[in-house]
Amino acid sequence: MAAANYLPSEDQFLCSVCLDVFTDPVSTPCGHNFCKKCINDYWNTNDQNTCPMCKKVFTSRPELLVNTLVSEMVSHVRQSAQQKASSSSSEQQESKPGEVPCDVCTGTRLKALKSCLVCLASYCETHLEPHLTASRLKRHQLIEPVENLEGRMCTKHDKPLELFCQTDQACVCMLCTVLDHITHKFVPLKEECEGKKVELEKTEAEIQEMIQKRRLKIQEVKHIVELSEEDADREKAEGVQVFTDLKESVERKLNELINTIEEKQRATKKQAEDSIKELEQEISELMKRSTEVEKLSLSEDHLHLLQSFQSLDIHLPPPTKDWTKVRVPPASYEGTVRRAVSQLEETLSGKMKKLVEVELKTVQKFAVEVTLDPDTAHYRESINRKGDITPSPQKGYWTIGLTNGDEYEANDDPEVVLSLKPGSQKVGVFVDYEEGLVSFYDVEAAALIYSFTGCCFKEKLFPYLSPEPNYGGTNSAPLIITPVRVN
């Protein structure tokens, strides 16, 4: 019973001539078995009647009879294999769209488990069995199921693409190395893939770094928006406090003030939102590229990796903006309330002074140090600093000065005579580059002297000091630069 239940594998019933399972097996006098047709064809093409296995020579062609025992065993093996295939097929999954189907299945095509680079075919679990059991098929190269196996053959020599030409950066077959690329340098596909995977890992790290930088930039922009909103809220509160004491005559000014501030904030917020949207879009593109790179780097399909590596332009990152120099400046509200209140100067002089005091405290936070250098008295940037100079904003000068010994004027276009008492000792200068604002303050009186508005700055700004000649001692007092005292 034990012998009856034992069924050897197909590998034990392979003809040594055709390397397939016996068909009409016959035995030679030396005891070896062959397909009847195979041994007769073998003898018909040779001068002597020899055994293909042991090379024993027979003086005359032996009479060959079918070995019934071997034939029955082969029949049982085939029947068992068919039953196993039928049972396995019912358990396997039918191939779905996007999956590689078995090339051997008829009717319902099952999902392929492996593809053979020698047979150029894909097999389900059942039809893959011979490649796992038959000794002649075990030498074939199996890979994960792929479509278009013909694309893995050299179109010129019809041989498998097994090597990588580092000279031409192309996949080649063995014949290519001795014919078309004889002087070139070659490596196995696996070795080249390992090198490319290192590059992919480096690229992936660079992309992740780019993503991180953009995420940090988003946080920076959001923080600027938060600070800008705080400034806007504070400025609106101050404006409401100033104009609350007024009646209907100043109601219109109050609304104009609030609308101006909110418009600036909306512009700042929109600019920030546009930047964030663009950053998030770049992150999305980078993450998409990261997914492609990661998927490709995990591929065990050497040929697919190399071919995709060439078409992916992996050395070229997706087009992105250099965000290191991009800045979303917070909206500046400096002087907004003051400019509105100045139109009601006669009735609001007390309020104006209080407001200027607040502004002075605010601008003091932006104090910068000034270092004098003899070279700065000569040509610098795009303006002339020597000779007879008539300062004006059009020439790059925003200045105020004392004329005729007792009258102050702003060197605007046209010049503006200032109602400033002679003898002012301390003058503060505040510049808002983004807002295009240059303001001069009488620090001791906590009063605004003059503001240049609507300025357009395109270069760096530098202090401009002109003490004028001594005039026989009448102008002998020095100009002194004093540090800002933060209250």
Which of the residue ranges 218-222, 250-254, 311-315 has the most confident prediction, judged by mean pLDDT?
218-222
Within a domain: residue 60? Answer: yes
pLDDT at residue 90 tops 60:
no
- Statement to judge: residues 453 and 407 lie in one domain: yes
> Which span out of 26-40, 113-127, 331-345, 380-394 was modeled with the highest average pLDDT?
26-40
Range of the domain at 287: 203-325
Say if residue 286 is in the same domain as residue 219: yes
Q: Examine residue 12 and state whether it is found in any structural domain, yes or no.
A: yes
Exposure string for 321-336, b = 16+ CB within 10 A, e = fewer: eebeeeebebbbbbbb
pLDDT of residue 423: 60
Same structural domain for residues 321 and 419? no
Same domain, 468 and 441: yes
Instruction: List the structure tokens of 467.
Output: 């003490």
Q: Is it the case that residue 35 has pLDDT exceeding 50?
A: yes
Q: Do 96 and 64 have their domain in common?
A: no
Residues 207 and 311 in one domain: yes
19, 41, 74 — which closes off a domain?
A: 74
Instruction: Note the pLDDT of residue 421.
Output: 65
pLDDT(396) > 80: yes
Average pLDDT over residues 460-481: 76
DSSP tag of 110? B
**Can you give the pLDDT at residue 217?**
93
| CA 123 – CA 115 distance, rounded (Å) | 6
Distance (Å) of CA 116 to CA 102, 150, 357, 396: 11, 11, 85, 78
Q: Give 402's strand partners.
A: 408
Q: Does residue 382 lie in a domain region?
A: no
- Lowest average pLDDT, out of 139-143, 277-281, 380-384, 391-395, goes to 380-384
Asked whether residue 350 carries a pLDDT value surpassing 70, the answer given is: no
Same domain, 218 and 281: yes
Residue 8 has pLDDT above 70, yes or no: no
Give Cα separations from 256 to 228, 230, 247, 262, 450 (angstroms).
Answer: 19, 20, 15, 10, 22
- How far apart (Å, rounded) are the C-alpha atoms in residues 41 and 276? 79
Highest mean pLDDT (candidates 199-203, 239-243, 418-422, 464-468)? 199-203
Assigned domain for 334 exists: no
Average pLDDT in the 415-433 region?
79
Which of 74, 100, 121 lies at the terminal end of a domain, its last residue? Answer: 74
Q: What is the CATH number of the domain that holds 28?
A: 3.30.40.10
pLDDT band at 100 (very low <50, low <70, confident <90, very high): confident
Residue 345 lies in a domain: no
Closest CA to 391 of 407, 405, 412, 408: 412
pLDDT digits (tens, 9 = 90+) for 272-299: 888 889 889 988 988 888 888 888 888 8
In this model, does residue 4 exceed pLDDT 50? Answer: no
Over residues 311-330, mean pLDDT: 73
19 compared with 178, residue with greater pLDDT = 178
Give pLDDT, residue 203.
92
Looking at per-residue pLDDT, the higher value among 327 and 131 belongs to 131
Say how far apart CA 55 and CA 65 lie, in whole Å: 20
Q: Flag whether 170 is in a domain.
A: no
- Are residue 99 and residue 24 in the same domain, yes or no? no
pLDDT over 70 at 379, yes or no: no
The pLDDT assigned to 207 comes to 94
Q: pTM above 0.75?
A: no
What pLDDT, on the 0 to 100 scale, is given for residue 155?
Answer: 82
- Range from 118-127, 312-321, 463-472 carrying the lowest mean pLDDT: 312-321
Give the percent of the chain with pLDDT over 90: 9
Same domain flag for 207 and 321: yes
Q: Is it the case that residue 1 has pLDDT exceeding 60?
A: no
- The answer to whether residue 183 sits within a structural domain is no
Whether residue 380 lies inside any domain: the answer is no
Cis? peptide before 414, omega within 30° of 0? yes
Q: Are residues 311 and 395 in the same domain?
A: no
pLDDT band at 200 (very low <50, low <70, confident <90, very high): very high
The answer on 405 and 487 residing in a single domain is: yes
My answer on whether 409 and 457 are in the same domain is yes
Is 440 a residue whose pLDDT tops 70?
Answer: yes
Q: Which residue, chain included where needed, has tokens 């087009």? A: 319
CATH number for 433: 2.60.120.920
Q: Is the pLDDT of residue 467 over 80?
A: no
Residue 195, CA distances (Å) to 132, 163, 204 in order: 31, 14, 14
The domain tally of the chain equals 4
